[in-house]
Amino acid sequence: MRRPLGLLISGCIAAAPAAWAALESLNAPPAPPPLTLLNCYQLALTHSETIAIQRERLAETEGRFLQALSGILPRATFAWSEKRQDGSGGSAFQLREIPERKFVVTQPLFAGFKEFAAMAGSRAERRQRLQEEANAQLLLLTDVAEAFYLLRQQREELGALEITRAALRDRLEELTQRERLGRSRTSEVVSAEAQLHQMEAEIAQVLGQETTARQLLEFLTGLPRIDAIIDPDPLPSSLEPEAAYVTQTDRRPDIRIAEEALQIARQQARIARSRFYPTVSAESNYYAKRVGASSGVDWDALLKVDVPLFQGGQALGESREASSQVRVAQLQLAQVRRRAQLNIRESYRQLEAALIRVRLLTQALAASEETYRLDVDDYRLRLVNHLEVLQALQTLQAARRNLVQATMEAKRLVWQLRAAVGDHPVPTPAPTTRTP
């Protein structure tokens, strides 16, 4: 049987929006892949002003090394002078104009080895700047891990709350049906509605917290929007002995920064002691133009020796000051090492306790799920009342959220312990993201 033309046209018009939406979904670019923690860390490295500042400081240190190197290299200049005097011009000693053009080469020969000490200090400073950059990267990794797992925690809590809201809706529907049959009181239905509204208000609050956490991670990574994140690495089932982590103290960048600071102080002390030694330099001149009595002399050379005899105590004061700075650097190194060991022990103990808490809360969640299931069955058999079922549901919701919070806290502490021992991961390139 053939359909009327009007029905066919109206059917095509009604189906047009769905067809257009399907066509747009085919032409739309694919959604960006989910980001891991290391993806976010790689993006944060490229957008961090702190890391860029550390790299500029490294370039500044390289410039100081070149300045120290110039102290042992020869210097060549071209000098031009034009002297006019009240002379008669009758002889070579009474010229009116005395022009001079010459090339001057100066070579330092000995200066108490202060140039070599300055170069060694510059190399130590460069290593120090490299460690400062590594330390800044570890701090950035800790910040990214905090933001990453905070966002995961909020989204996991939203999932747990959605499960509870679905259970409350099922509970409300069941109570409404039982009220129609006269098997439940109206107060029970109203109580379930109040619990559902309270749950929706809590979901709205967590949604706001999720937005804040997402914006923090977007600020660190420089992305306009972060949709999906994943964490493929499970929690460790156990930890190595504490001593295995404490023995890695010297891997920390802050320890190496303090060690290089000690080397710099020692080189500064060598530079200060060099003021007690004589300085020797050689200078030669090649004349391109000369007039008067020296017109036939094309070059000359000069060996210069300066022996310090008395400087008013300045050299002695600088030497004592530099020696004191060496002792201060030694004490600071010992202090940093002791604090680093304390930080590792604290991070280890916190992670150890967090893993135990996750295991216990996993058991508590399983027990709460079983309790809620049994209470629902008992309520249908009129063995428990409605309030006991709601209490079991609230306990189950708290168990879910507590487990989510404990798991994310343990994840953060894993990275905190890795940062405490100076374990710098190799960041993985972030997948290409699509700007909305």
The DSSP code sequence of 3-66 is: PPHHHHHHHHHHHHHHHHHHHHHHHSPPPPPPB-HHHHHHHHHHH-HHHHHHHHHHHHHHHHHH
Angle, helices 37-47/186-221, rounded to nearest 10 degrees: 50
**Distance separating alpha carbons of residues 119 and 282, to the nearest angstrom:** 22
First to last CA, the chain: 49
Q: Please report the pLDDT score of residue 351 as a whole number.
A: 95
Q: Are 194 and 172 in contact (CB under 8 A)?
A: no
Longest dimension (CA), the chain: 139
CA distance readout (Å), 209 to 99, 150, 206: 81, 9, 5
Among the listed residues 106, 19, 142, 62, the one whose alpha carbon sits nearest the alpha carbon of residue 303: 106
Q: Please report the pLDDT score of residue 95 as a whole number.
A: 76
**Distance separating alpha carbons of residues 355 and 249, to the nearest angstrom:** 23
What CATH number does the domain located at 37-420 have?
A: 1.20.1600.10
Structure tokens at 329: 């650097």
Residue pointed to by tokens 């982590």:
245
In angstroms, how far is CA 381 from the centroid of its own chain?
Answer: 58
Tens-place pLDDT, residues 203-237: 999 999 999 999 999 999 998 888 889 988 889 98
- pTM as predicted: 0.76
**Distance separating alpha carbons of residues 79 and 100, to the nearest angstrom:** 8
Q: Please report the pLDDT score of residue 173 as a whole number.
A: 86
Residue 213's Cβ-count burial label (10 Å; 0-12, 13-18, 19+) is buried
Q: Please report the pLDDT score of residue 252 as a whole number.
A: 92
**Distance separating alpha carbons of residues 171 and 185, to the nearest angstrom:** 14
Coil, strand, or helix at residue 427?
A: coil
Q: Please report the pLDDT score of residue 119 as a whole number.
A: 83
Q: Please report the pLDDT score of residue 414 as a whole number.
A: 94
Q: Is the dihedral of CA 16, 18, 22, 27 positive or negative?
A: positive
Coil, strand, or helix at residue 381?
A: coil
In angstroms, how far is CA 395 from the centroid of its own chain?
Answer: 39
Q: Please report the pLDDT score of residue 391 as a whole number.
A: 87
Q: Please report the pLDDT score of residue 339 as a whole number.
A: 95
Residues in the chain: 436
Output the CA angle 220-425-407, nearest 5 degrees.
Answer: 70
CA distance readout (Å), 329 to 204, 218, 260, 271: 54, 40, 9, 17
Under 8 Å CB-to-CB from 271, ≥6 apart: which residues?
114, 117, 118, 121, 322
Spans of the chain below 70 pLDDT: 1-31, 90, 92-94, 426-436
Q: Are 329 and 258 in contact (CB under 8 A)?
A: yes
CA distance readout (Å), 28 to 21, 225, 386: 10, 18, 50
Q: Please report the pLDDT score of residue 3 as a whole number.
A: 47
